Protein backbone atom coordinates (compact mmCIF):
# COMPACT_ATOMS: atom_id res chain seq x y z
CA UNK A 1 0.00 0.00 0.00
CA UNK A 2 1.22 3.50 -0.82
CA UNK A 3 2.37 5.48 2.18
CA UNK A 4 2.69 9.30 2.38
CA UNK A 5 6.30 10.45 2.13
CA UNK A 6 5.88 13.21 4.72
CA UNK A 7 3.61 13.59 7.68
CA UNK A 8 1.10 16.46 7.16
CA UNK A 9 1.79 19.52 9.28
CA UNK A 10 -0.67 20.61 11.98
CA UNK A 11 -1.44 23.61 9.77
CA UNK A 12 -2.24 21.48 6.70
CA UNK A 13 -4.33 19.14 8.82
CA UNK A 14 -6.26 22.09 10.26
CA UNK A 15 -6.87 23.59 6.83
CA UNK A 16 -8.19 20.27 5.52
CA UNK A 17 -10.49 19.87 8.53
CA UNK A 18 -11.81 23.43 8.32
CA UNK A 19 -14.59 22.09 6.06
CA UNK A 20 -15.41 19.00 8.12
CA UNK A 21 -17.75 20.31 10.76
CA UNK A 22 -21.54 20.49 10.69
CA UNK A 23 -23.38 23.55 11.96
CA UNK A 24 -26.26 23.00 14.40
CA UNK A 25 -29.82 23.47 13.13
CA UNK A 26 -31.43 26.73 14.21
CA UNK A 27 -34.48 25.96 16.29
CA UNK A 28 -37.36 28.18 17.27
CA UNK A 29 -40.56 27.62 19.24
CA UNK A 30 -43.70 26.98 17.18
CA UNK A 31 -46.33 29.58 18.19
CA UNK A 32 -49.16 27.04 17.91
CA UNK A 33 -47.86 23.93 19.68
CA UNK A 34 -44.83 25.38 21.55
CA UNK A 35 -42.55 22.63 20.24
CA UNK A 36 -39.03 23.29 18.99
CA UNK A 37 -39.10 23.45 15.20
CA UNK A 38 -36.50 24.47 12.57
CA UNK A 39 -36.67 28.12 11.51
CA UNK A 40 -38.03 29.08 8.06
CA UNK A 41 -40.03 25.85 7.78
CA UNK A 42 -43.79 25.28 8.09
CA UNK A 43 -44.53 22.95 10.98
CA UNK A 44 -46.41 20.20 9.10
CA UNK A 45 -48.45 18.97 12.07
CA UNK A 46 -49.74 22.45 12.88
CA UNK A 47 -50.38 23.23 9.20
CA UNK A 48 -52.75 20.23 9.02
CA UNK A 49 -54.44 21.37 12.26
CA UNK A 50 -54.73 24.94 10.98
CA UNK A 51 -56.33 23.86 7.68
CA UNK A 52 -58.69 21.42 9.40
CA UNK A 53 -60.03 24.16 11.66
CA UNK A 54 -60.61 26.29 8.58
CA UNK A 55 -59.10 29.34 10.26
CA UNK A 56 -58.98 32.10 7.62
CA UNK A 57 -56.09 34.39 6.86
CA UNK A 58 -52.40 34.10 7.33
CA UNK A 59 -50.73 31.28 9.26
CA UNK A 60 -49.54 32.38 12.72
CA UNK A 61 -46.02 31.39 11.65
ZN1 LIG B 1 -46.29 23.42 15.64
Report the first-to-last Cα separation within the chain, whole angstroms: 57
What is the domain extent for residue 39?
24-55
Asked if the structure places residue 39 within a domain, the reply is: yes
Question: Mean pLDDT throughout 1-9?
Answer: 94
pLDDT for position 52: 79
The rounded Å distance from CA 51 to ligand 1 centre is 13
The rounded Å distance from CA 30 to ligand 1 centre is 5
Q: In Å, how far from its chain's centre is CA 4?
A: 37
Asked if the structure places residue 5 within a domain, the reply is: no
The rounded Å distance from CA 23 to ligand 1 centre is 23
29's CB contacts (< 8 A; 6+ apart) are: 35, 36, 37
Residue 22, phi then psi, degrees to nearest 5:
-90, 145
Nearby residues for ligand 1 (ion, Cβ within 5 Å)? 30, 32-33, 43, 46
pLDDT (tens digit per residue) in 11-61:
999 999 999 999 988 898 888 888 888 888 888 888 888 777 766 556 655
How many domains are there within the chain?
Answer: 1
SS3 28: strand
Amino acid sequence: MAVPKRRKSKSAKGKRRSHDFLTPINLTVCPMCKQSVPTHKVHEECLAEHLKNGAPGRMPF
